[in-house]
């Protein structure tokens, strides 16, 4: 049942190229993104969307954080992203021109479902991105995009997250296309980049041994940091959650520029830092943040794109990830972080598929 792997989590990590392919599926043609069968909004209604709220929990919330960058960049609609258990109680501004996107692997998470109901009650249109056909979230939303990741058994979510990202890219590209914000040539480029992602994920999976060695080296630590800016910070939050839930090592994901406003005080000799630097526009800024932590004795694993040779001069180890367009990088960057959590868990002798205190589906509020 584990397909030759020791744990469901590893099987699911390796299923990601397929999950991405299946989620793209028939939604892309050569030159257009076609979501007309799934999304009832017509061109005019898409043009009228004034704001988008992503609402979700845990890993699905982290997909929404990436979604904020992606949708704002592609579709030029203001996006907010909230944890479902917070959204419900903060009196958010919801109108008939608000699109609420709930993201949930199981489609049964109590807080997400309650937020969906509240958003509908206040007149929003609700779109669900979920992995389970016929789940509560799928049944109650106005529109549904299924992520075709297949059943996810391990408590720690992996392939559901990457396929949620794919659904979000498709949605962003579709809105851009319908709003005529991108030329046909630009849409074709996005489509061809999306199609290349499964191969790029295969490539980064080959870095497993490097990640394993670093995971072993962090196993004796009780604290570490993930640093990154922009999309890298969003991915860092997911990497940090994965590491905490599996290895029980405390970690924090920090927006690298914010470090010197307090948290730098925690950087001391030997503390592991995982520095994510995949975004060209802020690459130099990341390098100087890494120098700041190195100067205080941190042991740094850098993650950067092939061809960026600056980082290796500063960090202790480096993992090169295949180049993809800036917006798509989270799909690739998260893979080594999933492997890191997996191997740190094994190195500490814990149960990968059943972390303590956690349930796969959280149906209490
Ligand atoms: C972490 C994890 C959880 C879930 C969260 C939401 O690895 O799996 O954080 O992402 O409980 O679950 P769904 O997506 O089913 O609503």
ipTM of the complex: 0.99
Strands across the sheet containing 272-277: 250-255, 223-228, 272-277, 299-305, 317-321
d(CA 105, ligand 1 centre) in Å:
7
β-bridge pairing 223-228 and 125-130? unpaired
Residue 326 phi, psi (nearest 5) = -50, -45
Please state the atom number of ligand 1 nearest to the C-alpha of residue 155: 8
Task: Give which of 335, 228, 320 is closest to 277, Cα–Cα.
Answer: 228
Per-residue buried b or exposed e for 229-254, using 16+ beta carbons within 10 Å of the residue's own CB: bbbbbbbbbbbbbbbebbbebebebb
d(CA 309, ligand 1 centre) in Å:
36
Pocket test for ligand 1, best of 54, 57, 107 (most atoms within 8 A of CB): 57
* Residue 286 and residue 229 in contact, taking contact as beta carbons nearer than 8 Å: yes
In the block, which residue shows the tokens 């892309």? 28
Confirm whether 159 is a catalytic residue.
no
Residues near 102 by Cβ (< 8 Å), separated by ≥ 6? 54, 55, 56, 84, 112, 115, 116, 119, 126, 127, 128, 129, 130, 137, 141
d(CA 71, CA 63): 12
pTM over 0.90: yes
- Where does 277-325 have alpha helices with state H? 283-294
Residue 249 phi, psi (nearest 5) = -85, 130
From first to last of its 365 residues, the chain has per-residue pLDDT tens of 899 999 999 999 999 999 999 999 999 988 899 999 899 999 999 999 999 999 999 999 999 999 999 999 999 999 999 999 999 899 999 999 999 999 999 999 999 999 999 999 999 999 999 999 999 999 999 999 999 999 999 999 999 999 999 999 999 999 999 999 999 999 999 999 999 999 999 999 999 999 999 999 999 999 999 999 999 999 999 999 999 999 999 999 999 999 999 998 999 999 999 999 999 888 999 999 999 999 999 999 999 999 988 899 999 999 999 999 999 999 999 999 999 999 999 999 999 988 888 888 888 88
d(CA 330, ligand 1 centre) in Å:
18
* Residue 354 and residue 102 in contact, taking contact as beta carbons nearer than 8 Å: no
Pocket of ligand 1 (CB under 6 A): 57-60, 104-106, 109, 112, 156-157, 241, 245, 361-362
Residues near 332 by Cβ (< 8 Å), separated by ≥ 6? 197, 200, 201, 204, 278, 321, 322, 324
d(CA 353, ligand 1 centre) in Å:
14
């Amino acid at each position: 049942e584990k397909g030759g792997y020791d744990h469901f989590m590893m099987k699911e990590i390796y299923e990601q190229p397929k999950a991405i392919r299946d989620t793209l599926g028939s939604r892309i043609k050569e030159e257009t993104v076609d979501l007309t069968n799934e999304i009832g909004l017509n061109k005019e209604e898409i043009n009228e969307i004034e704001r988008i709220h992503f609402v979700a929990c845990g890993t699905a919330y982290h997909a929404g954080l990436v979604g904020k960058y992606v949708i704002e960049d592609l579709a030029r609609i203001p996006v907010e992203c909230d944890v479902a258990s917070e959204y419900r109680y903060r009196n958010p501004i919801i109108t008939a021109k608000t699109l609420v996107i709930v993201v949930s692997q199981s489609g049964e998470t109590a807080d997400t479902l309650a937020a969906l109901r509240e958003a509908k009650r206040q007149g929003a249109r609700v779109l669900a991105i979920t992995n389970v056909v016929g789940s509560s979230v799928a049944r109650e939303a106005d529109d549904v995009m299924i992520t075709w990741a297949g059943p996810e058994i391990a408590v720690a979510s992996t392939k559901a997250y990457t396929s949620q990202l794919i659904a979000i890219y498709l949605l962003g590209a579709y809105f851009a296309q319908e709003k005529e914000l991108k030329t046909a040539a630009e849409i074709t480029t996005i489509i061809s980049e999306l199609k290349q992602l499964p191969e790029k994920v295969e490539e980064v999976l080959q870095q497993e041994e490097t990640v394993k060695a670093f995971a072993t080296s962090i196993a004796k630590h009780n604290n570490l940091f993930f640093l990154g800016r922009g999309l890298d910070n969003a991915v860092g939050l997911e990497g940090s959650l994965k590491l905490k839930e599996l290895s029980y090592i405390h970690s924090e994901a920090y927006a690298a520029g914010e470090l010197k406003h307090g948290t730098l005080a925690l950087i001391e000799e030997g503390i592991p830092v995982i520095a994510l630097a995949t975004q060209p526009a802020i690459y130099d800024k990341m390098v100087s943040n890494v120098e700041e932590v190195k100067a205080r004795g941190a042991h740094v694993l850098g993650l950067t794109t092939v061809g960026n040779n600056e980082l290796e001069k500063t960090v202790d180890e480096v993992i090169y990830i295949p180049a993809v367009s800036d917006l798509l990088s989270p799909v690739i960057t998260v893979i080594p972080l999933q492997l890191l959590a997996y191997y740190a868990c094994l190195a500490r002798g814990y149960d990968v598929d059943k972390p303590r205190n956690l349930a796969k589906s959280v149906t209490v509020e």
